[in-house]
Chain A
Amino acid sequence: MSDTTQEPMLAADGRPLKQSLARALRRQKLRALMLIAPLLIFVMVTFIIPILSMLFRSVENEIVSNTLPHTVVALQEWDSSTGEAPDENVFRHLYFDLFKASEAKEHTKLGTRLNYERTGLSSVFRTTGRRLDDMGSDFQDPLEDINENFKEGAFWYEMLSGEGGEELLESRRALWARLTGESMAGDIGFTPSPQMADMLPWATRAYTDFAIWTVIDDQDVVAEEDPWEAVYAGLAQDLQSEQTQTEIAAYDGPGAQALKDAVANLDQLPEVNFKAAFIDAKEDWGTTDLWSTMQVFSSNYTTGYFLNAVDLELTPEGVQAKPENQQIYMQLFMRTLWMALVITGACILLGYPVAWLLANLPMRTANTLMILVLLPFWTSLLVRTSAWKVLLQQQGVINDILVWLGFVGDANRLILMNNATGTIIAMTHILLPFMILPLYSVMKTIPPSYLRAAKSLGATNWTAFWRVYFPQSVPGIGAGSILVFILAIGYYITPEIVGGTSGIFISNRIAYHISSSLNWGLAAALGTILLVVVLVLYWAYDKIVGIDNVKLGG
């Protein structure tokens, strides 16, 4: 006998049985997987991926570095505690970054983003955006007076194009792609000359940016278009450098004469001072507040939205509590949890006797009752909530009856809606079927003979119920409570309609940030927190009661 166990058992085709079995099982598993594949893919595409991408928004903050790539780098060296705005170098980068952004209409998005963190920044970016052209024309006009060639698009093209500047071109293209979110790929019929990139770095860079945008987005020919104001500003900036001036003196390529004229007449150009120009456009640029906000939020990922969602804020001095009159979210989270608990409790109290009746009455009566439970369940949520409005309002049915019966005076009608009471009443009614149905399905399986047996052994009605019947119905309570609680925590329509201000939930704020304030990052952070809270509660429930004790159906 021991010999046979040593040798591997063989299947009919001569292979080892183990292998053969494993292969058959694998094939079976694969077939099973293929069966559920449509569902799996469907759930992934329509559920998991959107949720993940929404959650990703709660930390994503690439817009700052995508819109102002050079400024953000230059700003790193600035120390906000000096009490002074950054130096000219930062402003210079800001001008060229912002010029591009305003051409692509991206600068207002950045303003909106930063406005979430610091009020008023939105208008700073918008106002400044309108002034950028003027800042460049201040240099364009005198340059064109000095040498008429500067007016010609073709002249600039000839002067700045050359061989071997692919590296610069591609790096500029990559920045455009980050800014616009499009690939910006394609032949633009222009490569910057490396020699000019050395001699006139700012102008060449600005011209390359202009060329990419002109061809890829506007679909024009570079050489035929007049360059942006930023290119003139770039040239004016370049001409300030003594090294550039000596290089121009020795230069004899295309445009040499015009450049030499420009150097000779440098005194006709206004002073190059971007810092002064920006502060003139909007004085906020001279304050440290604006810059420190930008510095704090310059990284690609931020905890800012999450901090906002728990009434904190990120400042240069670290994480701080928000001013008291702006703290709302923690209070809303607490209220949401508390009211969901109250609603769950009310559902248990009201649902338990109904479910007991359903389970114990004769079939015919039970069915009629069941229809009464299901009928509202099938009615539109909006209709039911609006019906509650009619019932609960001060001139509504309930108050009218109470006044008619003399329980309350006409002048002291009860305030039953536009507050937490209204939300609790309406939501308890709406969620009641979710409690009754699982309870009913559990109670149906408890044999009535158990109760009779308990009584025949001398138990009172109460003991028989409490010691025998109730413990067996707990799985139904668990299932109903989980359903009601989790549904309640994310409720939105009912609190919105009958909740007034003291009866609204956190989801009403999420909806507000999604559809009105468009602060999707904050909405995503609030949503993530809500999701985590539900998961934690679920986990706690599993630890305390045990999820195996939950029965959703017979």
Chain B
Amino acid sequence: MKLVTKLMTPLAAATAIAALSGAAVADDHMSSDMTIVSWGGAYQDSQIKAYADPYLEMNDGVSITWDESSAEAVAKMRAMNEAGNVTWDLVDVTAASAMRLCDEGLAMEVDHDEILAAAPDGTSASDDFGDLIVSDCFIPQIVYSTTVGYRTDLVPEGTPEPSNICDLFDLATYPGKRSLEKRPINTMEWALLCDGVAKEDVYDVLATEEGQEQALAKLDTIRDEVIWWSAGADTPQLLADGEVFMGSTYNGRLFSAIVEQDQPIGMLWDAQVFDLDGWVIPADLPEERLARVKDFVKFATDTQRLADQAKYISYGPARESSAPLVGKHAELGIEMAPHMPTDPNNAQNTFLYNYEFWADYRDDIDAKFQAWLAQ
């Protein structure tokens, strides 16, 4: 790293001289290609359409390589850092991963007001994103939530469709298989909520041994009926196949199953777990690459671009100023706002994910959870 910076100084001087001799080389200090890491699928498509393609149109000669490794981003960045060869320029991760990368010094700390564009009305970036900046390294893009979908055609006759998160645990009224994520996060919280724990006490209870037992005991009541998923695409598939009656997944996946594919599926907006997704920049990037990334991020997270992204996927833009600009679905032409997790009608009873808690207790509770699963 040190070597690179030392080499860069004479290089930068040379560029400066070159810049003096001809004005056309303004972009010389930025590298011409970028490797961006994202999640693949519909989400990555929305990023490409909403800001990567427009950015490439504006900047001739720049190219972007996409790497669909976000799911293993933390492990891979750690390995790259140890090998001393970080090949990624910009990485899309969840907020929890961003905090972890920041803690380990693998992601760059940024001054949000300096590197991000202000809102059109002049509100500074840090005010516009507000509380969603959960870490100094994290540049938020979208708000998503983990919620529950169900088969509308398999609801027993004479019973209303499920509307409460606790219907997940009510096998008497709503018989049938469930699909839940194969990790304690979210599942344990829902179990406690439905076992009578008040929303604000959930994490206090979960921090105790008895609380963990209580959550597992609640899960015991449905464990024979549960299929455990590990990929976001699993639940929509299981629902479409009729393998399960109810299951948890991300709201964007349910949106595309319900609206785009017209499956007989409904979804709950109750105690859905709010979470964030956004960019981090790897630590210690060489100057040229860093300059290019900063240029791209500033464009890609401005008010209009984040609102544009919502045309392609039903995740809420992280900027407050983007919300009024959210328009219609790019192909179906339906209003997107009512499908956003941030829409007031949907956000009446949400559950806030506690990053700090899971950072500390994840290993411990996971060991118990896995042992419980294996029993």
Interface centre among B2, B230, B361 (most CB of A within 10 A): B2
Q: Tell me, yes or no, whether B75 is within 8 Å of chain A by CB.
A: yes
Task: Give the Cβ gap from B284 to chain A, nearest Cβ, in Å.
Answer: 11
Task: Give the Cβ gap from B283 to chain A, nearest Cβ, in Å.
Answer: 9
The answer to whether A126 and B366 have CB atoms under 8 Å apart is no
Q: Using A122-B359, A328-B371 as known contacts, say yes or no to A501 and B105 having CB atoms under 8 A apart.
A: no
Closest to A119 in B: B364
The answer to whether B362 and A517 have CB atoms under 8 Å apart is yes
The answer to whether A518 and B361 have CB atoms under 8 Å apart is no
- B173 partner residues in chain A, CB cutoff 8 A: none
User: How many residues of A are counted as interface, with CB atoms below 8 angstroms from the partner's CB atoms?
Assistant: 37
| Of A106, A116, A325, the contact of B105 (CB 8 Å cutoff) | A106
Q: Using A327-B371, A501-B373, A517-B366 as known contacts, say yes or no to A122 and B360 having CB atoms under 8 A apart.
A: yes
The answer to whether B243 and A518 have CB atoms under 8 Å apart is no
Q: Tell me, yes or no, whether B374 is within 8 Å of chain A by CB.
A: yes
The answer to whether B368 and A325 have CB atoms under 8 Å apart is yes
Closest to A418 in B: B227
The answer to whether B372 and A393 have CB atoms under 8 Å apart is no
- A326 partner residues in chain B, CB cutoff 8 A: 367-368, 371
Q: Tell me, yes or no, whether B95 is within 8 Å of chain A by CB.
A: no
What 0/1 readout, one digit per residue, does chain B (238-251) give for beta carbons within 8 Å of chain A? 00011100000000
Closest to B234 in A: A497
The answer to whether A119 and B372 have CB atoms under 8 Å apart is no
Task: Give the Cβ gap from A310 to chain B, nearest Cβ, in Å.
Answer: 14
| Of B105, B230, B356, B360, the contact of A115 (CB 8 Å cutoff) | B360
What 0/1 readout, one digit per residue, does chain A (337-379) give for beta carbons within 8 Å of chain B? 0000000000000000000000000000000000000000000
Closest to B283 in A: A105
Q: Tell me, yes or no, whether A514 is within 8 Å of chain B by CB.
A: yes
| Of B230, B363, B374, the contact of A328 (CB 8 Å cutoff) | B374
The answer to whether A119 and B363 have CB atoms under 8 Å apart is yes
Tell me whether chain B's interface is mostly helix, strand or loop, or mixed: helix
Closest to A514 in B: B75
Task: Give the Cβ gap from A188 to chain B, nearest Cβ, in Å.
Answer: 13
The answer to whether B75 and A518 have CB atoms under 8 Å apart is yes
Closest to A327 in B: B371
- A418 partner residues in chain B, CB cutoff 8 A: 227-228
Task: Give the Cβ gap from B318 to chain A, nearest Cβ, in Å.
Answer: 24
Interface centre among B227, B368, B374 (most CB of A within 10 A): B374
The answer to whether A119 and B361 have CB atoms under 8 Å apart is yes
- B230 partner residues in chain A, CB cutoff 8 A: 496
- B356 partner residues in chain A, CB cutoff 8 A: 123
- B105 partner residues in chain A, CB cutoff 8 A: 104-106, 109
The answer to whether A515 and B243 have CB atoms under 8 Å apart is no
Can you name 20 A-B pairs with beta carbons within 8 Å?
A105-B105, A108-B104, A109-B104, A116-B363, A119-B363, A120-B360, A120-B361, A122-B360, A182-B2, A325-B371, A332-B374, A393-B241, A394-B177, A395-B243, A500-B227, A501-B374, A515-B72, A517-B363, A518-B74, A518-B78
- Of all A-B residue pairs in the complex, the 5 with the closest CB atoms, nearest first, are A119-B364, A108-B103, A105-B105, A501-B373, A123-B360
B-binding residues in A (CB < 8 A): 104-106, 108-109, 112, 115-116, 119-120, 122-123, 126, 182, 219, 325-328, 331-332, 393-396, 418, 496, 500-502, 509, 514-519
A-binding residues in B (CB < 8 A): 2, 5, 71-72, 74-75, 78, 100, 103-105, 177, 182, 227-228, 230, 241-243, 356, 359-364, 366-368, 370-374
